[in-house]
Structure 1
Amino acid sequence: MPQRVRVVFRKRGVLQWVSHLDTMRAWERTLRRAGLPLAYTQGFSPHPRIALAAPLPVGFEGERELMDVWLDPALDPALVQGRIEPKLPPGLEIVEVEEVAERLPSLQSLLRTACYRVSYHRAAVDPSALEARLADFLALESLSWEERRGDKSRTVDVREGVLEAALSTESAPGGRSEREGIVVLTLRLSLDEGRGVRAQSVVEALGLEAEPFSMVRTELELERPRIALGAWRARGRHEE
């Protein structure tokens, strides 16, 4: 049976402007160059078994993005990481590699929430006004919002999709003036079917017209069958 490994990685710099499909292609090239024994799908046109989690919006960096890769034969996760790292293009960085149970549900079906950090220069926004807008937004029971992608659109309840939202200010580095500080909007959004909402939609619903200087997805949270997974790990597939 093929081995399933989960790669946690960062996507930064110029790669924040690379689409989900091109990111998948970049990973496929990297894994081939690393000489890993990739497992392939069956059928007329076999391709490596690789699965990325929820697409990262173009323009966002990712701190803990997720990818599952199937290998045959199995390798120690530390060896997998060691082979991949020298072949990574600029902008991709591995955080960790771990083996997960082959019989676990698909990565996409396990996704539950996504966390974001959207940062503005303080000179570009009014923190007090933004805090008031956020409070008004969170007090709503629902808010219909039209999301567009190309020539397609859908209506979502943007309020229902926001599980947590907070605003904070940070000092400018080097002890410069308060006006040179940073205003940070942190969001925890649902990825459940029927409730999922985009971070960009929340920003638009808050009436933010200023351009953020940084947009980062900081975490993808999964539903984990902890008892079964813990027992599987305790047995240990690889000998120490």
Structure 2
Amino acid sequence: MPRYRIIYSKRGPARYISHLDLVRALERSMRRAGLPIAFSEGFNPHPRMSFAAPLPVGIEGLAEVMDVEMTAPVPRRDLADRLNAALPPGLAVKEVLEVADNAPAPMAVLDKAAYIVHLDADDLPAPLFECTVEEFLALDKVEVSRRGKNGREKTRDIRPGIIKMEVQSRVCGLTMRLELKTGSAMNVRPEEAMTALFRHAGIPVDPVELEITRMKLFAGDSGLD
């Protein structure tokens, strides 16, 4: 069956859609668009879609990745136009690629992600200097606590998963660019990395105030798109 990789953005009101609701919205949109989406066999068939990495609620994504199988070929431009016409506000197809049947699923090859994180000046009580960021990156360990599925707090070292962290702009506050390990082997959340950085700097910042955008997903040094 033909398989397509859809690069899409999730912005504005759509950033508050959970991953489960996103899957449902995409399925409904494909049905409305009249696309010949393929379904699994069995008692409870579901659309043959796979995603690179679920986007946490509240975070925007500019180049999210999903694969979908169709029962018949669809011209890539036609697929994008028809799906865009049916998608809810905040979701938009940016590009459609053809993928080989034997190509690994996007989640299987996902390695890292690039983020832009902005904090308004009113929410930043003290300046963050480049030398402080360099000191932070020189640490051997960066330990954070994360609640597991069993509800228990677990401490983990995220330093190996912080690939890059740099100040990009100081206009209207602070804007930083991050590259973090993302995938089955290791997954570092941007709010975790930023909270740890501000804690190291001695700057009290509420992570809720962080405006986070996932810019791109990578398989090694190459984008999944």
Q: TM-score range by the shorter chain?
A: 0.7 to 0.9
Structure 1 residues 9 and 153 mapped into 2: Cα distance closer, same or farther (>3 Å)? Answer: farther
What is the RMSD computed on CA atoms of the aligned residues?
2.2
In 2, the alpha carbon distance for the partners of 1:152 and 1:70 equals 39
**1:107-144 deviation digits (Å, cap 9, x = unpaired):** 11010111111101234325643544422210112222
Quote the Cα distance in structure 2 between the aligned partners of 1:27 and 1:196. Answer: 25
In the TM superposition, what whole-angstrom CA distance separates every residue of 1:51-91 from its partner, at most 9, and x where no partner exists?
A: 12211111100000011110011111111112111101001
Measure, in 1, the Cα distance between the counterparts of 2:84 and 2:2.
20
Q: Is 1:221–2:218 an aligned residue pair?
A: yes
The answer for unaligned runs of 5 or more in structure 1 is: 172-180, 227-240
Describe the SS at the equivalent of 2:209.
coil
Aligned residues between the structures = 216
Identify the residue that residue 209 of structure 1 maps to in structure 2: 205
The reply to whether residue 82 of structure 1 matches residue 81 of structure 2 is yes
Aligned pairs for 1:1-240 (under 5 A) are: 2-125=1-124, 128-148=127-147, 151-171=151-171, 181-206=172-197, 207=199, 209-210=205-206, 211-212=208-209, 214-223=211-220
Equivalent residue letter for 2:164? E
C-alpha contact 1:110 1:224 (8 A) present in aligned 2? no
- Shifted more, 200-209 versus 123-132: the winner is 123-132
Equivalent position of 1:176 in the other structure: none
- CA distance in structure 1 between the aligned counterparts of 2:221 and 2:2, rounded to whole angstroms: 19
Counterpart of 2:205, as a letter, is E
Instruction: State the Cα deviation string for residues 159-213 of structure 1 (Å, max 9, x = none).
Output: 1110011013243xxxxxxxxx231121100124443211111122122514536
**Structure of higher CA gyration radius:** 1
Q: What residue ranges of structure 2 are gaps of 5+ in the alignment? A: none
Deviation of 1:152 after TM superposition, in Å, equals 4.9
- Residues 7-27 of structure 1: per-residue CA shift (max 9 Å, x gap): 101101111111111111111
Moved runs in structure 1, 4+ residues, more than 6 A?
A: none
Among the aligned pairs, what percent are the same residue? 34
Q: Which amino acid aligns with 1:196?
A: N
* Alpha-carbon separation, structure 2, partners of 1:198 and 1:106: 22
